[in-house]
Structure 1
Amino acid sequence: MSGQEGMREDMHLLVTGAFGQLGQCLADELKAQQIPHTLLSRQDADINDTVVLERIIADKAVTAIINAAAYTAVDKAESEPELAQRVNVDGVTALAKLSAHFDIPLLHVSTDYVFDGNQQRPYVETDAPSPTGVYGQTKLDGELAIQRHATKYIILRTAWVFSEYGNNFLKTMLRLAKERDTLGVVADQVGCPTYAGDIAKALIEIARQLHRSDDDHQAEYGVYHYAGDEALSWHGFAMAIFNEAHLKGRLPKVPTVNAITTEAYPTPVKRPAYLVLSNAKIAKAFGVCVSDWRQAVSNLIQLE
């Protein structure tokens, strides 16, 4: 048996938020890599239920927690702040305390929405957060709770997540393209599309490296950014999706896509104009591959 295979058997990951698009990608990847794991959805256990979670962690000899559970309805959070708080702050606080109690790492997924999007260069981990809505604020408060209560943690901020699961921009665009000849898509918001399957692979690789590292080696813990390898607008992302779908024969023709402004598509929370995340720190620390979102789009369109 190789050292890596032995390490796989020794590692047991607890994944919360198992029914979300990232949770389902994590489940797929863990099964593919034959890594022992326990998946928890909202139906299985509330992340605020520390009694249940304590028993699971102890019984399964969990070596790390990956938290993919989150309240992610950006606009709805404005009218449901208590629910957003319960999931994004209270639940995360409970997980952070469990991480500290059992002395195991917590890998937590956060968001680019902790920033206001007002700068013109890629955001790095040391840039000061300044969220503009309830969703971003609760995600930031969750980060702060982890830093307050846990010592072994990875906070992974990501952006514009899409996958074969759940509801996301890729699926919405493909559906609308089959229903309409003309679409209007916002062109003055710039970010980094990120495939949830790549986030899953990155989280698992980081968990593996943390598991191998010596107990006194703490340098890798902290806040990291992980997003797609190319920034563009929602309009640009839509065009990339349509062109690839047409090329693959999944769309008979590319719809006309009009570039519109944020002001022309008002939402309860104004979307940040520029949320590009730098991947430099995570690449240096863990050597994980940055998300090749164009390849992911191509692969997913084949499944449609």
Structure 2
Amino acid sequence: MRLLLKALFLICLVSGALGGGVWWWAKQPLTLRASPLDFRIVAGSSLRSAIVQMQEAGIEVRPSLLTLLARFHRAETGIKAGSYAVHQGVTPLQLLEKLTLGKVSQGDLTLVEGWTFRQWRARLDSHPDLLHETSGLSEAQIIERLGLNVVRLEGWLFPDTYLFDKQSSDLELLARAVRAMQRRLDEEWVGRADNLPYRSPHDALVMASIVEKETGRESDRTQVAAVFVNRLRKGMALQTDPTVIYGVGESFDGNLRKRDLQTDTPYNTYTRAGLPPTPIAMPGLASLRAALHPAASDALYFVARGDGSSEFSRTLDEHNSAVNKFQKGGK
């Protein structure tokens, strides 16, 4: 009996010493290869796997002690995947808390209304917090990876500020932008105005992209949309410069010339009737709504006033007078 008591006492003594040692270690700063140090825990990782990933990232952590600490806190299966950032001075206890609470570090990226896919891709490619899985892929290959049935990505990505775990895939971010645009387009299409001259949501998206490029003034969007809708109804050419510029492509130098207006391309709405074959930019929600809820107007023309707003006209004579007043300095 006495031997059993001694054995129990020794076990308690050792356990207490071990627990005290782990607790002391848990409050000591870890050595980091750099500060701040970013690392990522992949989905489905066990505690052991997470420890390996942290060690490979440059955190000098003792696996056996961190495992014991996790057991004490019943956190062995509570590790959450994601991107994390730690700074010099972080302790094992703080690190474990970060991992179990999922205090991930996030990057952010703003994809701008009215930009083209070429502009968006340049921003994606230069972002330091993304994993660049689309690097070297053509647009057609990216479309295939996304599982889309479209000719171009133009117009199919919703402009917004996206938050993401650092070192997330740029392909994942593009997929989120596609889903966001599809959801918005579907919602607006269901609630669209009656008797619009669109055959499909794709047509509405093309129109929204034109509206996006034609005006940055919120109050003019529905009026601009009305002009183009009225022209479609009458079978008139849209005659909108942004589509011509898109058709010129990367060779456009900022100066739209007469020869550009006369050179036929699928996007030249001076030489071809109807909508161009694809969107010409990424429209925001306001332009989507304008395209599907144009103003009640019989205007067929508009011209920039020079202050960001537009003058709308019903007849060619009215339009020519407005052009003379606002563009040519007439009285």
The TM-score with structure 2 as length reference comes to 0.23
Highest relative contact order (Cα 8 Å, sep 6+), 1 or 2? 1
Greater Cα radius of gyration, structure 1 or 2:
2
